[in-house]
Amino acid sequence: MINRIILDLSKKNNSLNEIIRLRQGENNSTEIQATVTANNQVYDLGGSAVELHMKKPDYEVYVEKATINNNEIICKLTSDAVKFAGKATAYFQITNKNSVVTTEDFKLDILPALNPVKKKDPNEPQPIDLQILK
């Protein structure tokens, strides 16, 4: 699933993007395509390196390299990024030889996965692990 967002370096427009929703445990299924602006103009990403910085629902900071294609940031979220269900906040850090800048924040909602509990007895009914729904 591709999620297109516009992120501003002035950090003034962070309510314009929809929350990105995905499921706990998904791997490389959610792609973020971000256009970066500065002063209402598309920001030139040429010669830059980009990283996703995300505070996960367990408050751990996750950093992932992103790529640039046609002046857009492309980032696929791995299973490490969505290991825990809950709300997450992220931004992109853009580094080139002259500067390091960051975008405004965007929000992610990681929905809980319903993982079956392993049975001790093969004839035992299969319960659903509802611990993650708390």
Distance CA 64, CA 58 (A): 17
- Convert the pLDDT of each residue in 80-111 to its tens digit: 999 999 999 999 999 999 899 999 999 999 99
Q: Provide the pLDDT for residue 28.
A: 80
Q: Provide the pLDDT for residue 16.
A: 74
**Is there a contact between 29 and 21 (Cβ–Cβ < 8 Å)?**
no
How much of the chain exceeds pLDDT 90, in percent? 63
Write down the pTM of the prediction.
0.82
**Is there a contact between 26 and 93 (Cβ–Cβ < 8 Å)?**
no
Cα distances (angstroms) measured from residue 85 to each of 24, 45, 69, 114: 6, 32, 30, 11
Looking at the domain 2-133, which fold is it?
Immunoglobulin-like (2.60.40)
With a cut of 70, list the residues of the chain below it in pLDDT: 13-15, 117-119, 121-134
Q: Provide the pLDDT for residue 129.
A: 52
Distance CA 120, CA 93 (A): 47
| Amino acid making up residue 62 | Y
Q: Which residue ranges make up each domain of the chain?
A: 2-133
Q: Provide the pLDDT for residue 93.
A: 98
Q: Provide the pLDDT for residue 73.
A: 98
Write the secondary structure of the chain as one string of H (helix), E (strand) and C (coil).
Answer: CEEEEEEECCCCCCCCCCCEEEECCCCCCCEEEEEEEECCEECCCCCCEEEEEEECCCCCEEEEEEEEECCEEEEECCCCCCCCCEEEEEEEEEECCCCEEECCCEEEEEECCCCECCCCCCCCCCCECCHHHC
